């Protein structure tokens, strides 16, 4: 039968394709031999990402065995063949990624608080982060002699409570503590995962005054804090907050409205110290060193000026990285700057994708968990898009130096900057939509003004102001920096307020996001014609987002807050007194950019003291919803009829057994297992949970401490 099939025309053609396929792959890899190595960090990152995506240890072990088989398969194909080497090395790197993040998660293991408590304890202050725009201070504290508390907690207190607290100080306090919160809605920010890798076992708020050890206070503050305070004293308000963010990475003094405007306008990347800032510092230090060293004829004639200037730039970049807190974007940019300096001294081409790949490898090996965060993804996506674009032949030809009048050169530079901005916006849009459910549309235009303003005016003015402040002569430079910063803030608000400045979409499916990222990498990393095959997965991934329906109901992880879709595309909240955080979280998960109204004010919603009832869904399929909002105890027999008449019952309390909805009953017990919910009420209704069933990641099954030594448990909701 198989022989007859192969003898058909289709079988003959298929047989030829199968026979020629290995040779075709080998030829492609030979043509791309300089680019194959760029996939090493991609393979390592794929292993790390697979560990985060797969739920339990059995899956991780199974994946390792599968990758081991792929490695052996590559060796069987032959190490001398490029396809065999690529398969073996790729599977090996991916397996290394799985083991790296798994080992890292076990290495940082620390107990987590079991439940909310209010307790008194003494602690040593490890780190202080001032948030003057909110009138708050956030500290990392190490509880002392309390085995029932996690070894590290994060506390928030008012600025007047904190006073002049310093790192290393011993304090006594009373605080309300709770476990690090998981994502409150599907697709939301999972702080519990971030806290696990930071070894934070509880978060809380300080109640009352903070007692301090005798003689404490007034100690030497860290250089970063003193520098931030100095900048805030020279430039007030959000302008001073942004000025401090450029120098130390401290964003605590930026007003929330201004920070939101920076995000909506596509300028938020300026607030995170990354390539732009590190390049400016290294370049300025190197240029200044070259000018000063060239004054020495001996150094100039001996050829030492350039190496010494490069060393000065490297030292300046390293100090800047340490000052800014060694965050992922800053570290990546510093590594890239070092590689650029080395390549420059060796006479090699500096800005290449090999440099980006080397930086990604270093960061992933040092902090593999950073892959799951938006900072790593946005940072490396942006720089990869920029370098790939400027390595392309059309862009090189367009930006090539030529003999032409200066207006044409200026216009060509502006056009190149605009094209680069558009490429970066396209590369970052899927990541922004996946993590934040929104993306700016005018960021490329805003950056045409903002990047030169920051690079050539604001940062040089700040550097000169800080240098001349040592002699008390920095005021003119601070004035220049302040006016430029005010212009930057005005630009952000102008762009953010423009019609259609932000596009919002609901939750991006993880598989669609993966397809979009893979397609984008395929387009950017390869050089020959087969790169265009990456368009297919990229389009499919983005298409998965575009066809994703908006949820009909959103239920927070504690069950207290419910957002229901209303006619016209908006959403309404059950509790209209919800704070800004809840409103922003609900709006992001719903994929809308409009205020949430009050559910109780709608005509089709009937409410009494204890419950609200309404119908939800399309005209063909209407579902009855019953949601509790009171705190009084109600007997099960009194609720039975109302629950039986509803398709969905939602409560933040424990519901009696007599209360059973026709389709879905949600109460405190079920929410403890599922977390927040996104509910779709179609012909085939479904509920998507924030917490996966049976998730075996360490932060979901962490060793727990009770925190009940001389503690006053926080009151539980009424039943």
Structural domain span for residue 516: 510-546
Pairing, β 623-628 against β 648-650:
parallel
Mean pLDDT of 510-534: 91
Report how far apart the first and last C-alpha atoms of the chain are (Å, whole number): 70
Q: Is the pLDDT of residue 178 over 90?
A: yes
Residue 488 lies in a domain: no
Look at residue 296 and give its three-state secondary structure.
coil
Over residues 644-678, the pLDDT tens digits come to 999 999 998 888 888 888 899 998 888 888 889 99
Residue 651 lies in a domain: yes
Q: Helix, strand, coil: what percent of the chain each, to 5?
A: 55, 15, 30
Q: Domain count of the chain?
A: 4
Cα-Cα-Cα-Cα dihedral of 211, 217, 222, 223, to 10°? 150
Asked if residue 135 lies in contact with residue 159, where contact means CB atoms within 8 angstroms, the answer is: yes
Q: Which secondary-structure segment (H or E) carries 423? A: helix 406-436
Lowest mean pLDDT across 113-122, 181-190, 461-470, 633-642: 633-642
If asked whether residues 94 and 116 sit together in one domain, one would say: no
Over residues 330-376, the pLDDT tens digits come to 776 777 777 778 777 776 666 678 888 888 898 899 889 999 988 88
Over residues 264-296, the pLDDT tens digits come to 888 887 777 666 677 778 888 888 888 888 888
pLDDT, residue 718, reads 37
Asked if residue 133 lies in contact with residue 174, where contact means CB atoms within 8 angstroms, the answer is: no
Asked if residue 665 lies in contact with residue 655, where contact means CB atoms within 8 angstroms, the answer is: yes
Lowest mean pLDDT across 67-71, 186-190, 339-343, 708-712: 708-712
If asked whether residues 77 and 121 sit together in one domain, one would say: no
Q: 557 burial class (0-12, 13-18, 19+ CB within 10 angstroms)?
A: buried
Residue 383 lies in a domain: no
Residue 672 lies in a domain: yes
If asked whether residues 85 and 149 sit together in one domain, one would say: no
pLDDT, residue 286, reads 85
pLDDT, residue 329, reads 67
Residue 233 lies in a domain: no
The residues, ordered by sequence, that sit 6+ positions from 688 with a Cβ below 8 Å of its Cβ are 186, 507, 551, 677, 678, 679, 680
Over residues 553-611, the pLDDT tens digits come to 999 988 889 999 888 778 999 887 888 888 888 888 888 888 888 888 888 889 888 88
pTM for the complete prediction? 0.85
Residue 637 lies in a domain: yes
If asked whether residues 194 and 83 sit together in one domain, one would say: no
If asked whether residues 74 and 167 sit together in one domain, one would say: no
Instruction: Tell me how many degrees the CA angle 156-159-160 measures, rounded to the nearest 5.
Output: 120
Using CA atoms, how far apart are residues 446 and 426, in angstroms rounded to an integer? 15
Q: Is the pLDDT of residue 517 over 80?
A: yes
Q: Is the pLDDT of residue 634 over 80?
A: no
Last residue of a domain, one of 221, 254, 276: 221
Residue 498 banded pLDDT, cuts 50, 70, 90: confident
Residue 157 lies in a domain: yes
Using CA atoms, how far apart are residues 525 and 81, in angstroms rounded to an integer? 21
If asked whether residues 677 and 561 sit together in one domain, one would say: yes
Residue 234 lies in a domain: no
Using CA atoms, how far apart are residues 486 and 490, in angstroms rounded to an integer? 6
């Amino acid at each position: 039968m198989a022989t007859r099939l192969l003898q058909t025309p289709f079988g003959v053609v298929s047989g030829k394709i199968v026979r020629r396929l290995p040779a075709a792959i080998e030829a492609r890899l030979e043509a791309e031999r300089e680019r194959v190595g760029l996939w090493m960090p991609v393979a390592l990152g794929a292993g790390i990402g697979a560990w985060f995506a797969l739920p339990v240890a059995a899956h991780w072990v199974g994946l390792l065995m599968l990758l081991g088989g792929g490695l052996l398969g590559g060796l069987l194909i032959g190490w001398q063949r490029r396809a065999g080497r690529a398969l073996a090395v790729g599977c090996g790197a991916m397996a290394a990624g799985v083991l790296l993040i798994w080992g890292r998660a076990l290495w940082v293991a620390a107990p987590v608080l079991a439940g909310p408590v209010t307790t008194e304890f003494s602690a040593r202050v490890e780190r202080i982060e001032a948030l003057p725009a909110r009138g708050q201070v956030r500290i990392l504290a190490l509880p002392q002699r309390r085995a029932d508390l996690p070894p590290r907690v994060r506390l928030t207190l008012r600025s007047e409570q904190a006073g002049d607290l310093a790192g290393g100080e011993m304090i006594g306090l009373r605080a309300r503590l709770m476990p690090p919160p998981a994502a409150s809605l599907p697709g939301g920010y999972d702080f519990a995962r971030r806290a696990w890798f930071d070894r934070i076992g509880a978060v809380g708020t300080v109640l009352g005054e903070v007692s301090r050890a005798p003689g404490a206070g007034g100690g030497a503050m860290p250089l970063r804090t003193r520098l931030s305070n100095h900048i805030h004293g020279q430039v007030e308000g959000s302008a001073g907050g942004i000025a401090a963010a450029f120098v130390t990475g401290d964003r605590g003094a930026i007003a929330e409205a201004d920070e939101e405007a920076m995000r909506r306008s596509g300028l938020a990347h300026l607030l995170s110290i990354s390539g732009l800032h590190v390049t400016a510092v290294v370049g300025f230090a190197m240029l200044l060193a070259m000018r000063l060293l060239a004054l020495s004829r001996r150094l100039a004639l001996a050829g030492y000026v350039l190496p010494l200037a490069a060393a000065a730039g490297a030292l300046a970049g390293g100090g800047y990285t340490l000052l800014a807190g060694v965050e992922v974007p800053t570290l990546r940019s510093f590594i890239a700057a070092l590689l650029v300096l080395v390549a420059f001294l060796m006479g090699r081409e500096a800005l290449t994708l090999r440099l980006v790949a080397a930086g990604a490898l270093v960061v992933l090996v040092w902090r593999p968990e950073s892959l799951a965060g938006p900072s790593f993804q946005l940072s490396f996506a942006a720089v990869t898009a920029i370098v790939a674009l400027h390595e392309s032949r059309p862009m090189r030809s367009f930006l090539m130096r030529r003999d032409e009048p200066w207006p044409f050169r200026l216009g060509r530079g502006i056009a190149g900057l605009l094209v680069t901005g558009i490429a970066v916006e396209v590369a970052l849009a899927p990541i922004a939509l996946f993590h934040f459910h929104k993306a700016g549309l005018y960021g490329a235009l805003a950056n045409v003004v903002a990047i030169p303003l920051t690079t050539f005016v604001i940062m040089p003015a700040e550097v000169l102001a800080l240098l001349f402040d040592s002699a008390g002569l920095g005021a003119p430079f601070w004035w220049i920096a302040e006016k430029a910063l005010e212009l930057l803030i005005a630009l952000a608000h102008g762009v953010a307020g423009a019609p259609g400045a932000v596009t919002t979409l609901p939750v991006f499916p993880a598989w669609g996001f993966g397809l979009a990222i893979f397609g984008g990498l395929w387009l950017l990393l390869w050089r020959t014609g087969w790169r265009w095959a990456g368009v297919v997965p990229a389009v499919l991934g983005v298409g998965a987002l575009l066809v994703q329906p908006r949820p009909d109901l959103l239920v927070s992880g504690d069950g207290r807050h419910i957002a229901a879709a209303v006619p016209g595309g908006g959403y309404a909240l059950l509790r209209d007194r919800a704070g800004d955080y809840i409103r922003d979280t609900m709006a992001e998960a719903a994929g809308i950019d409009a205020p949430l109204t009050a559910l109780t004010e709608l005509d089709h919603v009937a409410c009494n003291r204890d419950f609200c009832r309404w119908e939800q869904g399309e005209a063909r399929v209407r579902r009855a919803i019953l949601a509790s909002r009171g705190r009084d105890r109600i007997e099960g027999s009194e609720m039975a009829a109302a629950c039986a008449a509803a398709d969905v019952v939602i409560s933040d309390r424990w519901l009696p057994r007599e209360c059973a909805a026709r389709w879905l009953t949600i109460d405190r017990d079920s929410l403890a297992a599922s977390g927040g919910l996104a509910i779709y009420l179609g012909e085939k209704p479904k509920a998507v949970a924030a917490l996966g069933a049976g998730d075996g990641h360490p932060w979901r099954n962490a060793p727990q401490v009770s925190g009940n030594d001389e503690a006053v448990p926080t009151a539980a909701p009424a039943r």
